[in-house]
Amino acid sequence: MMIRTEDAVRMAGRVLRRYGTRDPDRLAQEMGIIVMARPFVKQKGAYKVIERNRFIFIKEDLHPVMHDIVLLHEIGHDTLHRDEAVSTGGFQEFNIFDMGNRRMEYEANIFAAQISLPDDEILEYIYRGYDVGQIARAMDSDINLVALKVAELNRQGYSFREQDFRGDFLK
């Protein structure tokens, strides 16, 4: 099924309303997703469905901020792309922000941004004159995820200055 960006935003909102939390570990638990830490060398995370059981494998030594981003990204795959994961045998990402033309990676990143970066907080920082780097530090996030969130706010009708983000920052 083809998901559009606005569908990813809407589905993230639905997850927030249903579970009442932005905490990725709690979300995974309440959604029935098994999270397992792994000693990956390059890979940050992977989502896989095995005999109808949903798994997220996540690199065991990630910085806590990156752990949360990767986990939300993988929860995004579960929410948005479960059918594709079942048919392809699961997803693995070495660089989740290297989206290029990869629609599902972009959508999972939009989902992660929507869950972790509330609109009202982002808007408050923008109106105070913060740039994306300052917002990322203030919200304990990543500059690239904040830039993606600002781009999504622009798509929704705001007119903030476009922010560049590195597509390979998770390498």
Cα–Cα nearest to 31, from 63, 56, 57: 56
Q: What is the pTM of this model?
A: 0.86
pLDDT of residue 159: 82
Return averaged pLDDT per consecutive 10 residues of the chain, 171 residues in all. Answer: 80 97 98 97 90 94 96 95 77 51 83 97 95 95 93 87 58 48
pLDDT of residue 5: 84
pLDDT of residue 88: 73
pLDDT of residue 141: 96
Between CA 72 and CA 93 the distance in angstroms is 13
Mention the CATH class of domain 5-116.
mainly alpha
pLDDT of residue 104: 85
Judge whether 119 and 94 are in contact, CB under 8 Å: no
Judge whether 22 and 116 are in contact, CB under 8 Å: yes
Query: Which runs of E-coded beta strand occur in the chain?
Result: 34-38, 45-50, 53-59, 91-93
Residues 6 or more apart whose Cβ sits within 8 Å of residue 14: none
Between CA 73 and CA 170 the distance in angstroms is 12
For residue 85, what are its two tokens? 């994961």
Cα 138 to the chain's mean position, in Å?
18
The backbone torsions φ and ψ at residue 53, rounded to the nearest 5 degrees and listed phi first, read -95, 135
pLDDT of residue 87: 77
Between CA 114 and CA 9 the distance in angstroms is 6
pLDDT of residue 167: 52
